[in-house]
């Protein structure tokens, strides 16, 4: 851990072999919901309830289902429709205190519900928030960013507060320092005129920014072929740089060929050589409630594992080799456990909670 001349704290972790299954930090399944009743159609989001239970958004049923710590259904809220207490295309949940917020893209609003299931009201999304990536923080703020893959221009970043039945913009923030993502340009002829389009480069590490859960800043993944993570303050200054050495993992030839085949013909002929032959250093990052970071990546066997970093950026080990996490989408980490969604052999979405053991203090 070093402090650079510009004040940035750099935390460097050497490459370390993944421990054998069962050694080091490990995940132990504690709860599985969805293979039996209640069963779900689509699960775009979940929100841990803080008591071992969880709120589950079923996008197909257009309802939110409250399940207790034993997996028993306790409550359902909402239904399909366009009234204020109904949903058209719900996609996101946020639990703040005793209030559950549900984002509905179909009606462009957030609705608020008590944890007892009482409808509290709805707030329309401001026009300048539409199409952005809203990230609620513990302070109740919404960080939003919008970008284009071809030029990585962040159109705006800001924070809003729910006040008096509307969202009130609190301030504007400097956009997090995310460099240009890896994209391929192609020009097509449509109606006799050229049209330029951009496509994300398959298998490449696309940079992203995620709001810190406490509202203090951003976690930024700059992209490229380096294992590098930035923690950035709201004023745009980088506070901490996390660097880890790693050994690149080759992409199986069949998977790379399939990625190339998905490119438009114009790009397949000229840009196929740019499709990486190794997996990105990691796929994405999920900040945990205690400030730790969970980094999703592929190991040398092609399995999905999580690299765990504490709140200071120190590497705590690889997690998940003792379970099959193929297709598991990590949603949240809190004091109750590690929460995510996986499709079972029948294709049904299943909500799973793992306990983290052996990670030390």
What per-residue confidence (pLDDT) applies to 16?
A: 78
- Asked if residue 6 has pLDDT above 70, the reply is yes
What per-residue confidence (pLDDT) applies to 138?
A: 76
For residue 76, how many other CB atoms are within 10 A of its CB? 15
Q: Which of these ranges, 165-174, 289-298, 338-347, has the smallest mean pLDDT?
A: 165-174
Q: Angle at Cα 48 formed by Cα 61 and Cα 335, nearest 5°?
A: 165
What per-residue confidence (pLDDT) applies to 152?
A: 53
- Asked if residue 307 has pLDDT above 60, the reply is yes
301: left (phi over 0), alpha (psi -120 to 50) or beta: alpha
The 3-class secondary structure across 282-349, one letter per residue, is: CCEEEECCCCCEEEEEECCCCCEEEEEECCCCCEEEEECCCCCCCCCEEEEEECCEEEEEEECCCCCE
Give residue-wise pLDDT tens across range 91-137: 999 998 899 999 998 888 899 999 999 999 999 887 766 666 778 88
What per-residue confidence (pLDDT) applies to 218?
A: 92
Give CA torsion, residues 115, 103, 88, 58, to 10 deg.
Answer: -60
Q: Which of these ranges, 24-38, 121-135, 331-345, has the smallest mean pLDDT?
A: 121-135
Band of residue 146 on the pLDDT scale cut at 50, 70, 90: low
- Asked if residue 348 has pLDDT above 80, the reply is yes
What per-residue confidence (pLDDT) applies to 189?
A: 73
What per-residue confidence (pLDDT) applies to 266?
A: 77
| Residue 285 CA neighbour count, 13 Å, CB half | 30
What per-residue confidence (pLDDT) applies to 147?
A: 62
- Asked if residue 80 has pLDDT above 90, the reply is yes
What is the overall mean pLDDT for the chain? 88
What per-residue confidence (pLDDT) applies to 108?
A: 86
More confidently predicted of 236 and 180: 236
Q: Which two structure tokens, joined as six digits, stand for 258?
A: 């399939």
Band of residue 28 on the pLDDT scale cut at 50, 70, 90: very high
What per-residue confidence (pLDDT) applies to 180?
A: 73
What per-residue confidence (pLDDT) applies to 92?
A: 92
What per-residue confidence (pLDDT) applies to 131?
A: 63
Query: How large is the average pLDDT for residues 240-269?
Result: 91
Band of residue 360 on the pLDDT scale cut at 50, 70, 90: low
Band of residue 344 on the pLDDT scale cut at 50, 70, 90: confident
Band of residue 342 on the pLDDT scale cut at 50, 70, 90: very high
- Asked if residue 149 has pLDDT above 60, the reply is no
Q: Which of these ranges, 100-109, 250-259, 264-273, 278-287, has the smallest mean pLDDT?
A: 264-273
More confidently predicted of 199 and 219: 219
Domain ranges of the chain: 2-357
Q: How far is CA 278 from CA 205, 255, 307, 330, in A?
A: 10, 11, 18, 23
Query: How large is the average pLDDT for residues 343-357?
Result: 91
Give residue-wise pLDDT tens across range 42-75: 999 999 998 999 999 999 999 999 999 999 999 9
Query: How large is the average pLDDT for residues 270-276?
Result: 90
What per-residue confidence (pLDDT) applies to 37?
A: 85
Does domain 2-357 fall under CATH 2.120.10.30? My reply is yes
Query: How large is the average pLDDT for residues 259-273?
Result: 87
What per-residue confidence (pLDDT) applies to 89?
A: 94
């Amino acid at each position: 851990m070093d402090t650079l001349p510009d004040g940035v704290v750099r935390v460097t972790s050497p490459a370390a072999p993944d421990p054998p299954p069962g050694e080091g930090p490990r995940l132990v399944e504690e709860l599985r919901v969805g293979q039996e009743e209640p069963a779900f159609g689509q699960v775009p989001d979940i929100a841990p309830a803080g008591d071992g239970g969880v709120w589950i958004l079923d996008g197909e049923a257009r309802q939110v289902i409250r399940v207790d710590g034993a997996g028993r259904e306790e409550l359902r809220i909402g239904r399909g429709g366009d009234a204020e207490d109904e949903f058209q295309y719900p996609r996101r949940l946020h639990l703040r205190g005793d209030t559950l917020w549900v984002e509905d893209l179909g009606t462009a609003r957030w609705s608020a519900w008590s944890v007892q299931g009482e409808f509290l009201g709805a707030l329309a999304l401001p026009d300048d928030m539409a199409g952005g990536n809203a990230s609620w923080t513990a302070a109740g703020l919404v960080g939003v960013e919008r970008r284009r893959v071809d030029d990585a221009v962040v159109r705006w970043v800001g924070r809003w507060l729910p006040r008096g039945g509307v969202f009130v913009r609190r301030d504007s923030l400097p956009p997090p320092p995310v460099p240009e993502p890896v994209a391929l340009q192609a020009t097509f002829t449509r109606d006799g005129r050229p049209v330029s389009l951009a496509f994300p480069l398959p298998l490449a590490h696309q940079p992203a920014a995620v709001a810190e859960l406490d509202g203090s800043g951003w976690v930024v993944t700059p992209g490229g072929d380096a294992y590098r993570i930035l923690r950035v303050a709201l004023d745009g200054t980088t506070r901490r740089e996390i660097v880890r050495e790693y050994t690149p993992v080759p992409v199986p030839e069949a998977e790379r060929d399939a990625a190339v085949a998905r490119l438009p013909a114009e790009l397949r002929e000229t840009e196929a050589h740019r499709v990486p032959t190794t997996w990105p250093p990691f796929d994405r990052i999920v900040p945990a409630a205690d400030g730790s970071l969970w980094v999703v990546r592929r190991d040398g066997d092609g399995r999905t594992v999580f690299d765990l970093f504490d709140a200071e950026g120190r590497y705590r080990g690889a997690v998940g080799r003792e379970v099959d996490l193929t297709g598991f989408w990590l949603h949240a980490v809190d004091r109750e456990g590690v929460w995510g969604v996986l499709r079972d052999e029948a294709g049904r979405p299943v909500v799973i909670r793992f306990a983290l053991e052996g990670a030390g203090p």
